[in-house]
Amino acid sequence: MNSISITPGSSLKGELVVPGDKSISHRSIMLGAIANGVTTVRGFLRGEDNMATMAAFRAMGVRIDDDGHLLSIHGRGLHGLEEPGDVLDCGNSGTSMRLLTGLLAGQSFFSVLSGDQYLRKRPMKRVVEPLSRMGARILGRAGGNLAPLAISGGTLNAIGYESPVSSAQIKSAIMLAGLYADGDTSVREPSLSRDHSERMFALFGASLETFHNGVTVKGGVELHAQEIHVPGDISSAAFFIVAALITPDSELLIRNVGVNPTRTGIIDVLRSMGGSIELVNEREVSAEPVADILVRSSRLKGVRIEGQTVPRAIDEFPAICVAAACAEGTTSVRDARELRVKETDRISAMAVNLRTLGVTVDECDEGMDITGVERLGGGVAESFGDHRIAMSLSVAGLVSADAVRVNDIDCVSTSFPNFFSLLERFRTGAP
């Protein structure tokens, strides 16, 4: 179990690029694998989560060439996947497991999905239940709620599903199953979660229609290979955005970041806290909005975060909590119960760690109140095996009075393998 000790360094100045978007990378493999023709992917994130998705499709007979820059996915068409000879290991990746469950429900073969100790504790009923309504046969521990999941795929019925939670993983699992259903499958959610699936389905030639907080997919329509350019992941950029805001005298330009409006809650929240964040060179690439993000250190103040902003910033709360800890006044987070079922319970994980650093945090079931301090203290922080907790606490170490030691940091390689080398480069002001 590796750990790292972070001490304050120089101001953060210069330019950087962050690795490719994790959500878009997963979807490019999945749709590429079931399309006709060879899909190429540039900017693919070679983190452990996406490598788990890649390994799963290779195990189902899909040829995927990787020269280190370009991925070439030799699509096998809608019905060309082969039965895997062994359990498909999703590692720590909830996206791999939930989206694959949807896709595998429509295959005419048997498959089993499992993952690491953290993923095997995360709720799967949220996809198993609607997929079962479509006629899928899926068994799992705890009445089908926990992996390993055993899927006996086959013909599916189209359904109209009202999801109780705003979740792109639920929506995408049903959309993937919908490609194999006998008609039009619809999903509606309380507020719009990330819409990368909708955008990429359309790019690959699926027949789909979006409506208010929902989407309809027509079954049986073949997909066509595409050339995908994956932008940088705003969820990874978030750590450097917060780092530059809270470290005095900083100015960072983060190039080529995905700024899909369903993902930019972090920018809205930090701007409302007083953060200086500009989007420059805005453009569209592979049906996704992209920009360069210019951040300057700023005095932050506490705000209230709730409602529709929450799903638009769902993965960025650990980073937002660090910004809140450095802000004047109290930041209140509400409507965020989903944070309790992420890679770890992110409400209690951030509360425990920020208290260690001398911050007052009050937890409630669906959120927390964080009262900022003049100067964070040092101490020992725990990642709880969650990459985003580890990276957030490392950013806190940039401005703490004493060193912050972060334990159990190997998890960072699930989404941002070069995070610590980039952080060190900017912390020390090295060119």
Catalytic residues: 315
> Judged by CB under 6 A, which stretch of 50-58, 102-110, 161-169, 268-276 contacts ligand S3P?
161-169
Q: Is the peptide bond before 148 cis (omega within 30 degrees of 0)?
A: yes
> Judged by CB under 6 A, which stretch of 102-110, 129-137, 168-176, 318-326 contacts ligand S3P?
168-176
| Separation in Å, CA 430 to CA 33, 169, 250 | 41, 39, 14
Judge whether 119 and 166 are in contact, CB under 8 Å.
no
Nearer to ligand S3P, 203 or 300 (CB): 203
Nearer to ligand S3P, 97 or 398 (CB): 97
**Residue from the set 92, 111, 163, 167 that interacts with ligand S3P by CB under 6 A:** 167
State both tokens at 121. Answer: 């504790």
Show the site string, 1-30: x = touches ligand S3P by CB under 6 A, - = not.
----------------------x--x----
* Cα 62 to the center of its chain, rounded Å: 24
State both tokens at 271. Answer: 């701007």
52 binds ligand S3P (CB under 6 A): no
Residue, CB closest to ligand S3P: 23
Give the number of other Cβ atoms within 10 Å of residue 211's Cβ. Answer: 9
As measured in angstroms, the least distance from the Cβ of 169 to ligand S3P is 4
DSSP secondary structure, 193-211, as one string: ---HHHHHHHHTT--EEEE
Measured CA to CA, the distance from residue 336 to residue 316 in angstroms comes to: 12
Considering only residues 221 to 250 of the shown chain, the ones binding ligand S3P according to CB under 6 A are none
DSSP secondary structure, 281-325, as one string: EEEEETTEEEEEEEEE----B--EE-GGGTGGGGGGHHHHHHHHH
Show the site string, 300-329: x = touches ligand S3P by CB under 6 A, - = not.
--------------xx--------------
95 binds ligand S3P (CB under 6 A): yes
Give the number of other Cβ atoms within 10 Å of residue 356's Cβ. Answer: 18
93 binds ligand S3P (CB under 6 A): no
Nearer to ligand S3P, 292 or 315 (CB): 315
| Separation in Å, CA 286 to CA 200, 234, 355 | 8, 16, 42
As measured in angstroms, the least distance from the Cβ of 341 to ligand S3P is 8
As measured in angstroms, the least distance from the Cβ of 125 to ligand S3P is 13
Residue ranges binding ligand S3P (CB under 6 A): 23, 26, 95, 167-169, 172, 193-194, 314-315, 338
